[in-house]
Amino acid sequence: MNLSASDTLTTSTVCWTGPERRNPGKPNAKVLHLINGEHFSGAERVQQLLGKHLNGLGYDALFACLKPKSFPQQAAIRSYQITEFPMRGKLDLSVVRGVKALAAETQACLLHAHTPRTALVTSIAARQLSLPWVYHVHSPTARDSTRRFSNILNAMTENFAIRNCDRLITVSRSLRRDLLRRGIAPRKIAHVANGVPELTPLQPTERSQSSNWKLGMIALMRPRKGLEVLLQAMAQLPDTAQRIQLVLIGSFETPEYEAKIQGMLDSLGLRPKVSVRGFVTDIPSALHDLDVLLLPSLFGEGLPMVVLEALSAGVPVIATRVEGTPEAVRHGIEGYLAQPNDATSLAECIQELTNSRARWAQFSQQAVLRHRSRFTSRRMAEGVAKVYRQLDIPRG
């Protein structure tokens, strides 16, 4: 690529065997996705799956990573080009030059941003290149964390950046309603639900006689996910619930937060009931080892990918009644929805589900049906490709 020496750039490409292109004799249209890449959680899983499936729909996904850390390593199991432009801060716009050069070099016909940080860079680059751009809304930015100042800054950045955005994609209907309340024109908003691949589902009959229960929380462990509330709920379970074990799967956002959780395990006497497994790359295997997935979020989600993966694997879900999640999990059908930030409500849901293997088996079967009918990764990619075509971005 014809970049100057002042541009910070690292590029890697890994190949995979995927679906054949629809038009083998004609090259796919190039779409440059701008992402953070610091962590590898739900939004990054969406980006990874789009990189896989869009290839078979006439579009090649390229990635510009502005906070390279986890994504380049975890996403490298698929075939796409990942170029790193490390930003020194939220408002470091020196990377725009490199992004523009990459878009020109690869002949990208569309830019696709996924975070407020990348939206700001994309807004400027798209205007200077006279390219259309899309913004993927994965979560409610103004309340995406427990850090109030960070939420305000991200929301201001997002509002400024999307003024010249051609189309916004929301992963849930609650996020679409949020954009409408903010004054975004309905014609600019497309709702494309998140999706995950079809996993081999559990066989409920194999566990019908088991009285032991393994609950699991799979997430990037941070305060907004409600882990403290979950531990308080575990402490409220009666002594007869010794058969219930909890495993925490995922990395912690900061060492300080991990130390706080470890302290809670000691103070609540939960060491015999709770194990901390850390980050794993094989989510399907982790899910198949569980009876129930827990996601006790304190406030709005987009459409949690781990919940969809649990449904795909036939693992019933106990989550909280916050934005987004109830669009996937229906109370009393695929699992239970507790009140957010309410340990007693969460403990009652855990007790209710673990009291009946027959009810659990019904939830498991309904979970698979729910996923197959609405939340496959192929369906998600087709929805995004449809947005591209509406912007007159031709398929290959």
- CA 324 to chain centroid, in Å, comes to 12
Phi-psi region of 196 (alpha: psi -120 to 50; beta: other; left: phi over 0): beta
Contact 396, 23 (CB under 8 A): yes
- Nearest Cα residue to 244 out of 288, 294, 201, 297: 294
Asked, colleague to colleague, whether 10-195+376-390 and 204-374 share their fold, the answer is yes
Q: Per-residue pLDDT for 385 more than 90?
A: yes
Q: Which tokens in the block code for residue 225?
A: 């996910």
Rounded CA-CA distance 85/107 in Å is 18
**Residues paired with 167 in a beta bridge:** 134
For residue 176, is pLDDT > 90? yes
Q: Where are the domains of the chain?
A: 10-195+376-390, 204-374
pTM summary value: 0.85
199: β partners:
none
Q: Which residues pair with 336 in a beta bridge?
A: 318
**Helix 227-236 vs helix 255-267: angle between axes, to the nearest 10 degrees?**
10
Tell me the Ramachandran region of residue 324: left when phi exceeds 0, alpha when psi lies from -120 to 50, beta otherwise: left
How many other CB atoms sit within 10 Å of the CB of residue 140? 21
Task: Decide if domain 204-374 falls under CATH 3.40.50.720.
Answer: no
Type of residue numbered 134: V
Predicted local confidence at residue 256, as pLDDT: 96
At 280, is the secondary structure helix, strand, or coil?
A: coil
Second CATH level (architecture) for the domain 10-195+376-390: 3-Layer(aba) Sandwich (3.40)
Tokens of 148: 């109030």
Task: Give the model confidence (pLDDT) of 324-340 as tens digits.
Answer: 999 999 999 999 999 99
Residues whose CB falls within 8 Å of the CB of residue 217, separated by 6 or more in sequence, listed in order = 225, 227, 230, 246, 247, 248, 249, 250, 293, 294, 295, 296
Residues 179-222 have pLDDT tens digits of 999 999 999 999 999 999 999 999 999 998 898 999 999 998 99
- CA distance linking residue 135 with residue 164, whole number of Å: 10
Q: How many CB atoms lie within 10 A of CB 208?
A: 11
Is 395 a residue whose pLDDT tops 70? no
Residue 157 confidence (pLDDT) above 70: yes
- The model's pLDDT over 108-117, given as tens digits with 9 standing for 90+, comes to 999 999 999 9
CA distance 158 to 135: 10
